[in-house]
Amino acid sequence: METPRCQSGKRLSPAEAKLLLLAARPSWSEEQKALADELVPQVTQWPVFIDTARRKFALPMVYENLVTLIDSPPPAEATAALRALSLRATAEILRRHAAFDWFHGTCVLPSGVAHAYFKGPALAAQFYPDPMQRFFRDVDILVPARQRMALMQIMLENGCKVFRKAPSGFEVLSFHSEADIRDYLYLTDVPSILTPQGLPLELHATLDHRTALFDSAGMLERACEVTLNQNRLSVLANSDHAVYLSYHHTRHLWSKLNWLADIAAVVTHPDIDLNTIRAQHSKTTRLGSTVAATLELHQLASTACHPEDFTNRTPGGDLLRVCVDGLHGDLELEREMKQGRQIHTVGFDWQRNAPAWRRYQLSLRGYLHLKYDDVRSIHGPRTFRYSWALALKLRRVAQRLIGRSVQR
C-alpha cells in the first residue's frame, strides 16, 4: 500500500471510527485489545483510516497498538503504511524535542522567570509512559505578565522571531526599540514566537484570557517539576493540568485524537486522584461539569462506543459526537461546527460558564481592546499614544454603527 494521500472529507464507518478512537491512547488493556480484534476485520477504508490518524496526530500510538494484535492484525500493506508514517512522525517529534530542549536551556533557564509549561511536551513528560508517543505542534509556557519582557529579550537575542498570521501567510514583526517590545507584550494576549529551529512557541500571561475560569497566578504557585530529556521542567500541577485539558480540548471540540490520548494518560496515571480533581475544581473553576463530561468521554472511547449507539443525550456522549463528527475535516470544519455556540466557550447546555457580569466585562474588554498595530505608528509618550489609539478606534466603531443605521 502506498503512503496515503490526504483523505480529508471522507467519512469513516462507525466500526472504523470506533477502532481509531480506541487505538488513540498510549497503550491497550487486554479488554481493549479484544475489542480491537473484533473491529479490525470491519475496516474497509484503510487509506482513509491511516490518513485520519495522521491528520489527527495519533499515528505513533495507533501503529504501536495495532501491531500488538495477533488474532486479527491489519493487512500487511496497511501495517507497512502505518509503520512508514509512524516513523516519519516520530522523527518529527524528536526534532521538535531537540528544539524544545534548546529553548528551555538557552532562553527560559537563563531568564530566571517564574514559569510553567502546559500541554505538548510538558504534558507528555508528566503523564505519558513514553513522551515520544505524543505529537505536538507548538510549546505553551505560562509566565507572569511582568516577567515576559525578560524572557522575550533573551529569546530575541538568541535568534527567535515574533510572528503573526497575515493574509499572505505569516508575518515576522520587527521591533525598533525596547518600548516597541513592551507595547507588543502589553497589547498582545498570546505572543507567537518561532525558534531558530522552526518550533512555534506561545507565551501566555494567563491560562485563558477569554474567560474568568482559571486562577493563573495560583496555578503558577502550585507548579511542580518533571524530567524530560534529562531536563527538569516546571509544569502545571497534576490536577490543574487535568482540568485545563478538559476545558481546552472541549473548547476545541476534541478535534485532535492526541487529546483523547491525553485524557487516557491522565486517567491511568498512578499519581492522579480523580475524586480530588472533581472535588477541588467543581467549585474553584466552575468546570466540574466539563471535567465529568471528559471522564465520560474517556470511558466511551475506551470501550469502543459510537454516537450511533445512543438514543439519549449525555454530556460525554455530546463530546463523543463532536469528536467523531470532526474526524473527516480539520480547522475549517472545527470553526464551522462552532458556529452559533456561546462566545469563548463550547457552549453545551450542561456547562457552567463565568458569571454574567464577568462575561459582559470580558466582552467589553475585547470590544475595546487595542492591538499592537493600533499604536505602533503613533509617536509620543505611552499614555498619549494609547489614548489617541483608543479615540481612533471608538471613532471607527461609531462610524460603523452609523453606517449600519443608515442602511436600515
Domain that holds residue 269: 14-365
What does the pLDDT read at residue 395?
Answer: 82
- CB burial of residue 197 (10 Å; 0-12, 13-18, 19+): middle
What does the pLDDT read at residue 285?
Answer: 65
Residue pointed to by grid coordinates 505602533: 376
What does the pLDDT read at residue 343?
Answer: 47
Q: What pTM value is reported for the model? A: 0.88
Q: Which of 358, 359, 360, 382 is nearest to 370 (CA)?
A: 382
| pLDDT digits (tens), the chain, 408 positions | 444 444 456 899 999 999 999 999 999 999 999 999 999 999 999 999 999 999 999 999 999 999 999 999 999 999 999 999 999 999 999 999 999 999 999 999 999 999 999 999 999 999 999 999 999 999 999 999 999 999 999 999 999 999 987 667 788 999 988 989 999 998 898 999 999 999 999 999 999 877 778 889 999 999 999 999 989 999 999 999 999 999 999 999 999 999 999 999 999 999 888 887 777 665 556 788 899 999 999 999 999 999 999 889 999 999 999 999 999 999 899 988 887 665 445 578 888 666 666 666 666 666 677 888 888 778 888 888 888 888 888 887 777 777 766 666
Cα distance between residue 284 and residue 293, in whole Å: 17
> How many CB atoms are located within 10 Å of the residue 188 CB?
17
Chain centroid offset of residue 264 CA: 16
| Residue 154 maps to a domain | yes
Question: b vs e for 373-388, b when ≥16 Cβ sit within 10 Å of the residue's Cβ?
Answer: ebbbeeeeeeeebbee
Which secondary structure element, helix H or strand E, spans residue 22, and what is its range? helix 14-23
Q: Extract the C-alpha cell encoding 218.
A: 495560583
31 in Cβ contact with 109 (< 8 Å): no
Chain centroid offset of residue 352 CA: 21
| Residue 230 maps to a domain | yes
CATH number at residue 31: 3.30.460.40
362 in Cβ contact with 212 (< 8 Å): yes
| Residue 91 maps to a domain | yes
What does the pLDDT read at residue 371?
Answer: 83
| Residue 181 maps to a domain | yes
Phi and psi at residue 192, in whole multiples of 5°?
-110, 125
CA atoms within 13 A on the CB side of 65: 28
What does the pLDDT read at residue 2?
Answer: 43
Q: Are strands 200-204 and 192-194 parallel, antiparallel or unpaired?
A: antiparallel
Total domains in the chain come to: 1
Q: Any bridge partners for residue 231, and if so which?
A: 228
| Residue 3 maps to a domain | no
| Residue 282 maps to a domain | yes
Cα distance between residue 213 and residue 246, in whole Å: 12
What does the pLDDT read at residue 42?
Answer: 97
Cα distance between residue 53 and residue 47, in whole Å: 10
| Residue 192 maps to a domain | yes
| Residue 19 maps to a domain | yes
Phi and psi at residue 169, in whole multiples of 5°?
135, -105
